[in-house]
């Protein structure tokens, strides 16, 4: 009997399949809507493959379990949403300072506060600017489909190992809950514990990992090292999808489900004779500044399409040095952006409106 490598999966399920195929050893987490299918799928699939799944008593416990497993050299993942991600942030700051690779999935819900379980994109600032205390940063990937949820899991682990850093997969509840056809990638070889790990099987017990530096001069050197690493990531790891952008008068930008909305909007605007294109950031840190800057010569205006109060728009303004107008099309509270919302806005810009 032949088996197909195509499955019908939710985005939340696809990311677990991608992680397992990428050699993820452990999952520690706590369920929360709209990310609960990640923990559920991990609970079903990890033990079948001899991997470790543990539902922690809370989000704070789960991120500390991630820290311990990562320090022992294991490929490890956790997932949450909204307030659960907030509870993890102290641990993420420790992990980033100790330079431990791990993958964290945030399927965003409505906020602030307890908010609701509807899809939103309001964690953008929290995650792309670090999230917890101190001046650390993390790599942030932004999938827009179930297929990318699967594929970005492998990319996330590879980047985490390459730079010894936490990597977030940041998306919204629409992408997490959307059921789509997914082509599974090939199985990656399981990696051995790295030489820095606290794993007595591969090195003597001489390695040392910590996030506490009582002397100011020592901590300053740690921060200098970390910021040099972040500068390298910004130079080497910017990723974006461009569509109809080379001659566009109006470039639409969006991530997650908004990245799919703006693609259809650009096609509809082109049919009306308005030259629109898109830039869909695939990395939110590093933000793909190069993709925006290379179109500065012909673009009249940029439009940031977001399901929040306008957070990515600030990074677009920085990337373009505010030399072109940047406007916002947004919804909040878990309400969805529509193609009509975007088309109407750009149509008004083309007619000379603000």
- What does pTM read for this prediction? 0.96
pLDDT in tens, 215-247: 999 999 999 999 999 999 999 999 999 999 999
Residue 1 inside a domain? The answer is no
For residue 68, the SS3 value is helix
- Return the ∠ at Cα 19 (arms to 16 and 21), rounded to 5°: 110
Phi, psi (5° rounding) for residue 140? -130, 120
Residue 29 inside a domain? The answer is yes
For residue 62, the SS3 value is helix
Q: Are residues 224 and 118 in the same domain?
A: yes
Residue 314 inside a domain? The answer is yes
Residue 94 inside a domain? The answer is yes
* Domain limits for position 110: 6-236
Q: Are residues 276 and 315 in the same domain?
A: yes
What CATH number does residue 279 fall under? Answer: 3.40.50.920
Give the residue from 205, 236, 267 where a domain finishes: 236
| pLDDT value for 2 | 47
List strands edge to edge, sheet with 240-243: 240-243, 276-281, 250-253, 301-306, 326-330
C-alpha distances in angstroms, 169 versus 130, 166, 271, 349, 350?
14, 10, 34, 33, 35
Q: Average pLDDT of the chain?
A: 96
Q: What is the DSSP string of 273-318?
A: T--EEEEEESEEES--HHHHHTTTTT-SEEEEEESSSS-HHHHHHH
Residue 330 inside a domain? The answer is yes
CB-CB contact of 241 with 232 (8 Å): no
pLDDT in tens, 144-165: 999 999 999 999 999 999 999 9
In whole angstroms, what is the distance from residue 244 CA to residue 278 CA?
6
Q: Are residues 149 and 54 in the same domain?
A: yes
CB-CB contact of 115 with 64 (8 Å): no
Q: Over 80: is that where the pLDDT of 203 sits? A: no
DSSP character at residue 320: T
Residue 179's pLDDT band, with cuts at 50, 70 and 90, is: very high
What CATH number does residue 195 fall under? Answer: 3.40.50.970
| pLDDT value for 189 | 87
């Amino acid at each position: 009997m032949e088996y197909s490598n195509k499955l019908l999966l939710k985005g939340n399920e696809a990311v677990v399949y991608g992680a397992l195929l990428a050699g993820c050893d452990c999952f520690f987490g706590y369920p929360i809507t709209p990310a609960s299918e990640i923990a559920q799928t991990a609970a079903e699939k990890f033990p079948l493959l001899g991997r470790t799944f543990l539902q922690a008593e809370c989000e704070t416990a789960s991120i500390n379990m991630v820290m311990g497993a990562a320090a022992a050299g294991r490929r490890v993942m956790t997932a949450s949403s909204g307030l659960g991600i907030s509870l993890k942030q102290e641990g993420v700051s420790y992990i980033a300072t100790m330079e431990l690779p791990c993958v964290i999935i945030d399927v965003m819900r409505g906020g602030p506060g307890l908010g609701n379980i509807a899809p939103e994109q309001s964690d953008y600032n929290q995650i792309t600017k670090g999230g917890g205390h101190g001046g650390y940063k993390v790599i942030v990937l932004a999938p827009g489909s179930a297929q990318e949820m699967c594929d970005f899991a492998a990319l996330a682990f590879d980047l985490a190992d390459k730079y010894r850093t936490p990597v977030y997969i940041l998306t919204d509840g629409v992408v997490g809950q959307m059921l789509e056809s997914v082509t599974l990638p090939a199985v990656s070889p399981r990696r051995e514990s790295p030489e820095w790990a606290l794993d007595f099987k591969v090195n003597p017990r001489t390695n040392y990992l910590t996030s506490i530096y009582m002397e100011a001069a020592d901590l300053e050197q740690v921060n200098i090292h970390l910021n040099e690493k972040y500068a390298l990531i910004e130079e080497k790891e910017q990723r974006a999808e461009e569509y109809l952008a080379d001659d566009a008068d109006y470039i639409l930008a969006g991530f997650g489900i908004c990245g799919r909305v703006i693609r259809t909007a650009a096609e509809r605007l082109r049919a009306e004779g308005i030259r629109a294109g898109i830039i869909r950031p695939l990395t939110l840190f590093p933000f793909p500044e190069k993709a925006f800057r290379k179109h500065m010569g012909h673009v009249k205006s940029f439009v940031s399409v977001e399901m929040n109060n306008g957070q990515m728009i600030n990074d677009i303004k920085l990337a373009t040095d505010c030399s072109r107008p940047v406007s916002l099309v947004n919804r909040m509270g878990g309400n969805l952006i529509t193609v009509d919302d975007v088309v109407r806005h750009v149509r008004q810009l083309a007619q000379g409106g603000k």
